[in-house]
Structure 1
Amino acid sequence: MPSPPKQVKVGRPRSSDKDKSERGERILNAAEELFALHGYDGVTLRTLANAAGVDVALINYYFGPKQQLFDTVFKRRAKILNEQRLTALQSAQQAAAPEVVSVEKIIEAFLRPLEVAQESDDEGWKNYCALLAYVNNSAVWGPVLMSKHYNDLVDIFVDALRAALPGSDDADLYWCYHYMSGAMSLTFANTGRIDKMSRGLCRSDDFRAAYDRMIPFIAAGFREVCEG
């Protein structure tokens, strides 16, 4: 007797790991841009799904609820920035050994990777810097996301500053970091206000000029407050 014909399963083909990864990146990139433009409350999952070209259900499947997606978007580049800053600090410490690394070099290690991010041709980094400004100035998200993804690195830098400024009071160190964080946020935001105030003499998108001045300005502030 002839063998019965094989049954053919009909349905949607399984997605490859590459397809899933590409869709996931597309969702994260679209979310990063929309959150940077409109904030957390100004973005709906349907709007995000349309921007990413996926079903709403797929966003939840990959990343969970909206709050979890927001956290994933924020930590993705935070991890990269933290690694770059730590590498820069370790390089400065090795170059200064056996002496203690200077305040200026510590501040430069902390800030210069942010300049590189803002100068990047990758629109994702520009969106992330705007998102970082939004989160850092939010009474809702700042204490949650900044603390969760950046506090461990801040502790490492404060330890380095404590060694560079012997006898400094911890309260002074943290206040000075607070002021530096404010200057960073305004630079991330790239609002263009300084362009108008200076009548074109300064440009908020001239990141090299901004960081070249911010680094010695912040370092001098730490010295004045912590050593004064």
Structure 2
Amino acid sequence: MSSSENGRERIIEAATRLFAALGYDGTSTRMIAEAAGLNVATVAYHVGGKRDLYLVVMERAHHAERQVLEQAIAEMTPDEEGLLEVVDRYVMLCVERPEIPALWMHRWLADAADVAHLDDEYVRPMMDLASEAVRDIVGDEADLDYLVWTVVWCTHGFGAGGILDQDGKRRKLDDPQAVARFRAHMRRTIAAAVRMRADVTG
């Protein structure tokens, strides 16, 4: 990797960490430059302004999500277990790449309001892809949009806030025991929705 490419990657990695932690609105170009160990002019040279950098970060996050979802759907068996495996793989993506749910959580809490096109460009096509893939498994009795969003809301919310244990300590994505409980909970939650449909149609 050339020094120019290395500098660009350092900037993008620093920006990803800061946007995930503080949001777009809470992050400045100067903060990104300092975190990357560079000056503001070098950041501008490699990636442009803060908005340009945010678009690169969000594009990379979307690409990672899309890649996992497409592969999970391609390998999915057309039954309840196949659906649950897709859910589990999405949860594990967020565990392994916690910056992804963090970036979207900031956005959905009114961050980067002036960058309005990302939901239409990235989110809606992903939701449509997931919904279409599981439609026959879920059927018409469940609200498919809400079922898919339930996975996203719960996973992103768990990543941001975790769960309080008996001692009042927050357990989140970096706690293997909490993650195992959350994965099991999501499987039960989605399985219950699918079985409810089976009960209605049966």
TM range, smaller chain: 0.7 to 0.9
Instruction: Report the equivalent of 1:219.
Output: 191
Q: Residues 39 and 134 of structure 1 are in contact (CA less than 8 Å); yes or no, is this contact kept in structure 2? A: yes
- Return the match for 1:203 from 163, 171, 182: 171
**1:112 pairs with 2:71:** no
Aligned length: 195
Instruction: Report the equivalent of 1:152.
Output: 125
Provide closer, same or farther for how the CA distance between residues 54 and 142 of structure 1 changes in structure 2, counting only shifts above 3 A.
Answer: closer
- In the TM superposition, 1:178-197 aligns within 5 A as 178-189=149-160, 191-192=161-162, 194-196=163-165
Amino acid at match of 1:45: T
Provide closer, same or farther for how the CA distance between residues 39 and 56 of structure 1 changes in structure 2, counting only shifts above 3 A.
Answer: same
- Return the match for 2:134 from 153, 161, 183: 161
Amino acid at match of 2:128: D
Moved more, 40-49 or 151-160: 151-160
Q: Which has the larger radius of gyration?
A: 1
Amino acid at match of 1:109: V
- TM-score normalized by structure 1? 0.72
| Alpha-carbon distance in 2 for matches of 1:212, 1:90 | 23
Amino acid at match of 1:145: L
Provide closer, same or farther for how the CA distance between residues 64 and 222 of structure 1 changes in structure 2, counting only shifts above 3 A.
Answer: farther
Amino acid at match of 1:187: F
Instruction: Report the equivalent of 1:102.
Output: 79
Moved more, 138-147 or 173-182: 138-147
Q: What is the deviation of 1:131?
A: 2.1
Provide closer, same or farther for how the CA distance between residues 225 and 138 of structure 1 changes in structure 2, counting only shifts above 3 A.
Answer: farther
Q: What is the deviation of 1:226?
A: 9.2
Identity fraction in percent? 25
- Return the match for 1:67 from 37, 45, 51: 51
| Alpha-carbon distance in 2 for matches of 1:227, 1:62 | 57
- Return the match for 2:67 from 83, 87, 92: 83
Q: What is the deviation of 1:36?
A: 1.5
Post-superposition CA distance 1:6-28 (Å, at most 9, x none): xxxxxxxxxxx611111111001
Q: Residues 31 and 48 of structure 1 are in contact (CA less than 8 Å); yes or no, is this contact kept in structure 2? A: yes
Report the 3-state secondary structure (helix = DSSP H, G, I; strand = E; otherwise coil) of the residue aligned with 2:38.
coil
Report the 3-state secondary structure (helix = DSSP H, G, I; strand = E; otherwise coil) of the residue aligned with 1:41.
coil
Q: Which runs of 5+ in 1 are unaligned?
A: 1-16, 94-100
Report the 3-state secondary structure (helix = DSSP H, G, I; strand = E; otherwise coil) of the residue aligned with 1:92.
coil
Provide closer, same or farther for how the CA distance between residues 150 and 86 of structure 1 changes in structure 2, counting only shifts above 3 A.
Answer: same
Amino acid at match of 1:25: E
Instruction: Report the equivalent of 1:38.
Output: 22
Q: What is the deviation of 1:143?
A: 6.4
| Alpha-carbon distance in 1 for matches of 2:157, 2:20 | 14
Q: Which runs of 5+ in 2 are unaligned?
A: none
Q: What is the deviation of 1:115?
A: 1.6
